[in-house]
């Protein structure tokens, strides 16, 4: 019943499959980051360093909330991938229908809560008084777009679970173009402030989400839902919650550490915030391949667990790590020689560029660790151990909190730049042994199933 739009990852060369799946996903992530990059470049060059710092000061809280939403959608897609790999299509459609209803509920509740508490949270984070109003103007609109975040990420996640990583990319490319045009219109023509880029981001993602829905209806007959599929079922709801909530919390737990670190950086003043913002924007762009590899491994592991092939999961994980290591070496060289030229896109302030460069290089020398974090964490989640993966997020949170309370007060900005490398190290120490623990647990389960059948 699988159509041309679906793709099995349970057979064939893992290297070719992983590259073939991750490259389109990478393209999508790069264009998604273009939303943020275009916003930041235009804001920094047109509205100044204060506006740049205002947008940047919301980065961690944005990641905390929208990261949870994206994580929930990714978790909802895992049972779909597993049922697709097991060729249990009726159950798969029931999961899709229940995921749609659950996503709508989550979107309404989260949007309501964060809209009420947004400004108090910015105050709690010690956002500098000269930029807090601009920061609120930006992030309030982003948070009102949470339903749009659910719309795109759920539909894209479902398509990827069925092996189609290309189509969501095409729609993001289209949305990126719309975002650029709207940025120019809102800021340069209509003379809007930071609320312009925020509005452009929400509208662009809305277009991408609606496009995904239309495409899925036309090209995925395997997803044709009956009315009964759209009724919440106890078993399917419990499985979705057990996957989605831990997946979302893993993002949020990690983000809590980032929020605390951002609070410490905010206390260093606007220049430090602007430096961290510029460096983070470049970093978010260059780490997209690691995110693509992670997303690929969630689908790859999910389908192969559905097919009960754990050896293939192990082989795929180390294949992905090899790819990530090669890229880590390449991007370190690029940033070392070209980082300052890239940073000039955001600002011409020398001290901001120098501090942002310190941040970039501290991250770049440890990108192999980041590759491992994404690959092993998403593989564990794809295998169905979403709760287990939260613990790695806790390790990251602890690391960032330690940096915020110890290194930043002692050495200032120079201490803050090592927060992510330390966090990745803490997570990897937990994740690799954890991955093999999960593999062994599944192997025993599958062996027991086979023995029972005999």
pLDDT, tens digit, for every residue of 51-106? 777 777 777 788 778 888 988 998 899 889 888 888 888 889 999 999 999 999 99
* Model confidence at 453: pLDDT above 60: no
Model confidence pLDDT, tens digit, residues 163-189: 888 888 888 888 888 888 898 898 888
**Residue with token string 């310190």:** 358
The overall average pLDDT reported for the chain is 85
Expressed in angstroms, the distance from the first to the final Cα of the chain is: 29
Round to whole Å and give the CA distance between 199 and 142: 7
pLDDT for the residue numbered 165 = 81
3-state secondary structure of 418: coil
Cα 342 to Cα 280, 285, 414, distances in angstroms? 12, 11, 21
Q: Per this entry, what is the length of the chain?
A: 454
Is the per-residue pLDDT at 42 higher than 80? no
Q: What is the pLDDT of residue 335?
A: 92
In this predicted model, which residue has the larger pLDDT, 313 or 58? Answer: 313
d(CA 47, CA 347): 11
Residue with tokens 């490259």: 23
> What are the structure tokens assigned to 289, written together?
């391949």
Say which residue, 125 or 356, is predicted with more confidence: 356
The total of other beta-carbon atoms located within 10 Å of residue 326's CB is: 13
Task: Quote the CA–CA distance of 426 and 440 in Å, as a whole number.
Answer: 23
Round to whole Å and give the CA distance between 231 and 233.
Answer: 6
Contacts of 304 (CB under 8 A, 6+ apart): 9, 10, 85, 310, 312, 313, 316
> What pLDDT score does 180 carry?
82
Dihedral pair phi/psi, residue 164, rounded to 5°: -105, 100
| pLDDT level of residue 207 (50, 70, 90 thresholds) | very high
Residue 66 sits at the vertex; the CA angle it makes with 64 and 72, to the nearest 5 degrees, is 100
Question: What does the pLDDT look like over 285-307, one tens digit per residue?
Answer: 888 899 889 889 988 998 898 88
């Amino acid at each position: 019943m699988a159509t041309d739009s679906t793709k099995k990852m349970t057979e064939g060369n893992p290297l070719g499959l992983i590259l073939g799946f991750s490259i389109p996903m990478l393209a999508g992530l790069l264009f998604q980051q273009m939303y943020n990059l275009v916003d930041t470049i235009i804001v920094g060059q047109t509205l100044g360093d204060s506006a740049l710092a205002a947008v940047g000061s919301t980065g961690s809280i944005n990641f905390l909330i929208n990261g949870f939403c994206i994580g929930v959608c990714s978790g909802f897609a895992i049972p779909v991938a597993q049922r697709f790999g097991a060729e249990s299509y009726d159950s798969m459609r029931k999961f899709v229908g229940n995921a749609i209803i659950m996503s709508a509920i989550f979107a309404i509740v989260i949007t309501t809560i964060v809209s009420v508490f947004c400004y108090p949270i910015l105050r709690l984070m010690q956002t500098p008084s000269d930029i807090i109003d601009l920061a609120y103007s930006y992030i309030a609109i982003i948070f009102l777009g949470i339903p749009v975040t659910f719309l795109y990420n759920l539909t894209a996640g479902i398509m990827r679970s069925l092996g189609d990583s290309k189509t969501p990319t095409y729609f993001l490319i289209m949305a990126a173009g719309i975002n650029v045009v709207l940025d120019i219109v809102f800021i340069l023509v209509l003379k809007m402030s930071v609320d312009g880029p925020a509005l452009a981001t929400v509208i662009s993602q809305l277009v991408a989400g609606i496009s995904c829905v239309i495409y899925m209806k036309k090209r995925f007959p395997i997803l044709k839902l009956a009315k009964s599929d759209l009724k919440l079922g106890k078993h399917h709801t419990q499985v979705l919650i057990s996957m989605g909530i831990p997946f979302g919390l893993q993002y949020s737990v990690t983000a809590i550490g980032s929020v605390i670190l951002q609070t410490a950086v905010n206390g260093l003043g606007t220049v430090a915030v602007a430096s961290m913002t510029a460096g983070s924007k470049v970093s978010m762009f260059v780490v997209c391949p690691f995110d693509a590899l992670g997303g690929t491994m969630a689908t790859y592991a999910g389908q192969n667990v559905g097919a009960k092939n754990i050896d293939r999961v192990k082989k795929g994980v180390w294949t992905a790590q090899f790819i990530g290591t090669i890229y880590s070496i390449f991007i370190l060289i690029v940033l070392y020689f070209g980082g300052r030229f890239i940073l000039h896109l955001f600002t011409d302030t020398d001290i901001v560029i120098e501090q942002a460069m310190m941040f970039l290089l501290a991250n770049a020398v440890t990108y192999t660790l980041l590759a491992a974090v994404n690959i092993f964490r998403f593989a564990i989640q794809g295998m169905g151990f979403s709760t287990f993966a939260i613990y790695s997020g806790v390790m990251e949170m602890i690391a960032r909190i330690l940096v915020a309370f110890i290194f930043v007060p002692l050495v200032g900005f120079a201490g803050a730049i090592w927060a992510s490398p330390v966090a990745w190290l803490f997570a990897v120490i937990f994740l690799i042994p954890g991955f093999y623990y999960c593999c062994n647990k599944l192997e025993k389960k599958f062996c027991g199933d086979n023995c029972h059948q005999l």
